[in-house]
Structure 1
């Protein structure tokens, strides 16, 4: 084993070898680097005065040109494009803008300045060596002018959303898909214009979509889950031992598919309409029967009461629940409960409201033997025995109908346009006046009447009523506590109308003096149909009705009547 500390084995250097000199490679490297930097900087300086070859600005080739040449090329070829309208497009339409009016222009010096100039950026220098590409022009923008121009163009670029619709009218599904609207984004549109114009004459605007209130997905959900089922077939309604069908077209008007504020749709029924539809169908199928009121008839003044008959009606709440459930489900049968219905005018009410006394009576007079008397007598025969239930309305035209010769009426005198004339049924205005006064003193509600155009002395001033088919009426409503039997009797010289019932009021009549008097004129008429006429002054008069119950005044009424003057007419036609 060799002893490492044995100095005999050591190897000493020879002092006769040359000593190493200084190292030179760092200096060589530095020199190479310096030369490269100088070459890089020289190249950068030389290349910086020119646009990289292959460079285009908005389609104009300016590659390899110096700054002045590039400016000239852009001014010559690019600036004329900026005078053409800028077309903005959207999903709703398009609009043309005058670039200058919209504050848009190309900044040629700035555009070229971005492409030339000394730089040590290797990417830029590489573009000079390898070639450039398409570059956007630098725009000079008046933002306020652009925003104003774009606001004016919104009418063509923006669109409100179009709501969709869903319905089952006619028993079939009608669906229209909604359409999203668009709202132009000013800042985004300006950015698009700066990027693409004037290289492109047409630029699509940046816009936000405006969704409809009810999305298509919600309409389609309701269509698939409800509407399709609702119109799949008829609904069978069972009630009162009978059944009848409602086709989708029948119940469709009661289906409501209106959206809520949050855009959701919950199908519901228009309860009033649904009930109306079902009641109508039930009546036709005799599942629902109208109650029959008691009927009162008279032989003279002796009454006879025919008992009322109860009816059957479908329960409204049951209709709303059962029928609606069947409309929206696969189970298409609805069982509806019913109830017994009594008429308002029951047998007991009929008996309790039978006439017990004379309520009022009024008589007017005429000369015997006139043709008008035949008409008064005929009309009185028809009206005599009319029974007006409590709350029911009496209409003289309604009872008599049109007066014709076939009904026994003859031609007699009337007043037409302020002149005497003849017409079939003429003269029954006297019966109408008699009825009006009986109604006046009975205290019933006076609904419609019309005084004669000029005053006739046989009638009370202001308390008279003419009548004509079909426009002039005499109508009143029985507001007493019992039924009213109307008795109309005639003699050779008079007609009397008497109301039998349950007296409720004591009625006092008042009348003012005549005022606003107008004297008649004298008229000479040579017409073949002329009828002589005696003069009557025109005037206004106020008539009052004071109604008392138990000695206390319960109501006061005043009626004002204006009569025209009846001219003094002399007929000269000699045939």
Structure 2
């Protein structure tokens, strides 16, 4: 009986063949992949010799064109790009530059090459199959030319930052905002040109901001923290029993608002100016009183000493500290210290340095009865008894002032511009010359004197001093150890000047021979104010003095005087009889 449920050999055989059938599928898949790759490569090869369809370069349609076609299309369309100026713009301004002057150009061959050619890159194959888009041309840049062009255009493209300022001039706060500058970045601008040109002829440069030294925030800080407070009201200064006020307008010149290298403003006081401002206001208010020197006068030869008077002054250190503190804070009151100021020429010094002896004397002579004698006597009376303290300076013009008729002066002969003339006070140059010689032989420091235009025989050669108001002076400084009393005695025919003091120096005069002679000219003059002149040659002479103290030479001096010739003048204008 057959076993219906037994396996037959044939079914076992068939079951044994099934594994062999399953092993065929890898070969089928591999074959499909090989076919796909072959198709992929074939597509890359076939499509690689043309520009992907839909591709544009700088707005020029080149899609689907082969190399030659794309090159021709770009060459024709971009021909004007090499001549159309490129406009560079910045936050400051703009400038138009030709591509050649900018050093830029389009490399058409390189551009086309970048669009075609065999490539297995998926993106390239995809683009070749389904189309491209807008592509940038290959832009070449000559870096040196580009840099030079930008540097030359910086006056249009760049701007220096404008510094702001803060001021309290006039006692009012004035704030000026700073302005940020702009500087073109060459490398960044090159990148911008490569990205946008020639599609765009106007390109914004890459620019970096240049900040001012002092920021707006710093100026605002100083205004709020200092300036507004400083000028908020007057400052009251208390000095002893006196007080006075300083308005912001008055003390503003002493405020310094300067920035340091880091741009930080630290308000400071100009201490010299601040002191001067406060001292001036203090004197006006009577809070400071100048010291008065002792005064020496004479009745004949008898001295009288008027005592000195000490002064009162504000202490500088206190002024600078306390007044500045009051300016910089809401507390608008400064209490400053005062100090007593001793005079330079005290009563004690005056008494200790009273004249003791005659230290020099000099006499000159003149014809009696002339108008000039009147002037000599008037000036002598004013100058007689003049006292010069130790270290003090004598000024003849300062004592006499302008020579006028109401002072008793009359018209007499003078020298003006090398010619004889007349004026009120004529003749007092003889007083000046006599005083000059007394000062010369007492060892005084000779500060200012002027010899006559030409030589006058009544004076010693080279040792004479003319004088005129207000510009020709006779000045000297008392360098002895005592005060000097000037005794000036004028008679009808002579003037003598004696210096009484404390003898310190022995003085010896020296004089050279005359040299460099110049002969006078001769001419006539018909002007109504002409005065006849006799000819006298001009010459030079050198005088000097040897100054000894206790037998030792302490100073030697030499002075060369140039006397012009006194011209021979004949007056032809008739004078009324």
Q: Same fold (TM over 0.5)?
A: yes
Preserved contact between residue 50 and residue 116 of structure 2 (Cα < 8 Å): yes
Counterpart of 1:302 in structure 2 is: 302
Aligned mates of 2:54, 2:235 — CA distance in 1: 78
> What aligned pairs does 1:431-446 form with structure 2 within 5 A after superposition?
431-446=431-446
TM-score of the pair, normalised by structure 1: 0.92
Counterpart of 1:574 in structure 2 is: 574
Aligned mates of 2:482, 2:60 — CA distance in 1: 104
Deviation string for 1:98-118 (max 9, x for gaps)? 322333210111112212223
Counterpart of 2:494 in structure 1 is: 494
Aligned mates of 2:224, 2:526 — CA distance in 1: 83
Counterpart of 1:292 in structure 2 is: 292
Could you tell me how far 1:277 is from its partner in structure 2?
Answer: 1.1
Is residue 235 of structure 2 the alignment partner of residue 235 of structure 1? Answer: yes
Counterpart of 1:7 in structure 2 is: none
Is residue 63 of structure 2 the alignment partner of residue 75 of structure 1? Answer: no
Deviation string for 1:128-171 (max 9, x for gaps)? 45543322110233333323333333444344333332222222
Counterpart of 1:515 in structure 2 is: 515
Deviation string for 1:195-226 (max 9, x for gaps)? 11112222233344333333333333223222
Preserved contact between residue 240 and residue 288 of structure 1 (Cα < 8 Å): no
Could you tell me how far 1:348 is from its partner in structure 2?
Answer: 0.9
Counterpart of 2:479 in structure 1 is: 479
Counterpart of 1:66 in structure 2 is: 66
Deviation string for 1:218-250 (max 9, x for gaps)? 333223222222122222211112222222222
SS of residue matched to 1:100:
helix
TM-score of the pair, normalised by structure 2: 0.92
Deviation string for 1:334-378 (max 9, x for gaps)? 111111111111111121122222222211111111111111111
Could you tell me how far 1:452 is from its partner in structure 2?
Answer: 0.9
Aligned mates of 1:31, 1:197 — CA distance in 2: 49
Aligned mates of 2:310, 2:527 — CA distance in 1: 64
Counterpart of 2:106 in structure 1 is: 106
Could you tell me how far 1:49 is from its partner in structure 2?
Answer: 3.3
Preserved contact between residue 357 and residue 502 of structure 1 (Cα < 8 Å): yes
Counterpart of 2:220 in structure 1 is: 220
Counterpart of 1:3 in structure 2 is: none
Could you tell me how far 1:261 is from its partner in structure 2?
Answer: 2.5
SS of residue matched to 1:101:
helix
Aligned mates of 1:161, 1:540 — CA distance in 2: 65
Aligned mates of 2:570, 2:149 — CA distance in 1: 83
Could you tell me how far 1:57 is from its partner in structure 2?
Answer: 1.7
Aligned mates of 2:237, 2:215 — CA distance in 1: 35
Could you tell me how far 1:275 is from its partner in structure 2?
Answer: 1.0
Could you tell me how far 1:180 is from its partner in structure 2?
Answer: 3.5
Moved more, 122-131 or 186-195: 122-131
Counterpart of 2:527 in structure 1 is: 527
Aligned mates of 1:122, 1:271 — CA distance in 2: 80
CA 1:95–1:360: 2 relative to 1, 3 Å: same
SS of residue matched to 2:102:
coil
Counterpart of 1:137 in structure 2 is: 137
Counterpart of 2:210 in structure 1 is: 210
Aligned mates of 2:425, 2:130 — CA distance in 1: 115
Aligned mates of 2:282, 2:76 — CA distance in 1: 88
Aligned mates of 1:259, 1:271 — CA distance in 2: 18
Counterpart of 1:410 in structure 2 is: 410
Could you tell me how far 1:66 is from its partner in structure 2?
Answer: 3.0
Aligned mates of 1:56, 1:256 — CA distance in 2: 65
Counterpart of 1:255 in structure 2 is: 255
The number of residues matched between the two structures is 565
Aligned mates of 1:334, 1:208 — CA distance in 2: 50
Counterpart of 1:339 in structure 2 is: 339
Preserved contact between residue 403 and residue 469 of structure 1 (Cα < 8 Å): yes
Could you tell me how far 1:461 is from its partner in structure 2?
Answer: 0.7
SS of residue matched to 2:473:
coil
Preserved contact between residue 294 and residue 308 of structure 2 (Cα < 8 Å): yes
SS of residue matched to 1:114:
helix
SS of residue matched to 1:320:
helix
Aligned mates of 2:346, 2:489 — CA distance in 1: 30
SS of residue matched to 2:374:
helix
Is residue 47 of structure 2 the alignment partner of residue 47 of structure 1? Answer: yes
Aligned mates of 2:282, 2:385 — CA distance in 1: 37
Moved more, 355-364 or 17-26: 17-26
Aligned mates of 1:526, 1:336 — CA distance in 2: 73
Preserved contact between residue 79 and residue 106 of structure 1 (Cα < 8 Å): no
SS of residue matched to 2:225:
helix
Aligned mates of 2:537, 2:191 — CA distance in 1: 90
Counterpart of 1:199 in structure 2 is: 199
Moved more, 368-377 or 118-127: 118-127
Aligned mates of 1:559, 1:224 — CA distance in 2: 65
Could you tell me how far 1:402 is from its partner in structure 2?
Answer: 1.3
Aligned mates of 1:26, 1:522 — CA distance in 2: 142
Counterpart of 1:400 in structure 2 is: 400
Could you tell me how far 1:440 is from its partner in structure 2?
Answer: 0.9
Moved more, 296-305 or 125-134: 125-134
> What aligned pairs does 1:303-382 form with structure 2 within 5 A after superposition?
303-382=303-382
Aligned mates of 2:7, 2:496 — CA distance in 1: 171
Aligned mates of 2:100, 2:7 — CA distance in 1: 91
SS of residue matched to 1:361:
strand
Could you tell me how far 1:29 is from its partner in structure 2?
Answer: 4.0
In the alignment, structure 2 segments of 5+ residues that lack a partner are none
SS of residue matched to 1:296:
strand
Could you tell me how far 1:28 is from its partner in structure 2?
Answer: 5.0
Aligned mates of 1:530, 1:12 — CA distance in 2: 177
Aligned mates of 2:470, 2:373 — CA distance in 1: 21
In the alignment, structure 1 segments of 5+ residues that lack a partner are 1-10
CA 1:125–1:437: 2 relative to 1, 3 Å: same
Deviation string for 1:287-316 (max 9, x for gaps)? 222222222222222222222222221111
Could you tell me how far 1:473 is from its partner in structure 2?
Answer: 1.2
Preserved contact between residue 141 and residue 190 of structure 2 (Cα < 8 Å): no
Could you tell me how far 1:535 is from its partner in structure 2?
Answer: 1.8
SS of residue matched to 1:480:
coil
Aligned mates of 1:298, 1:212 — CA distance in 2: 71
CA 1:242–1:131: 2 relative to 1, 3 Å: farther
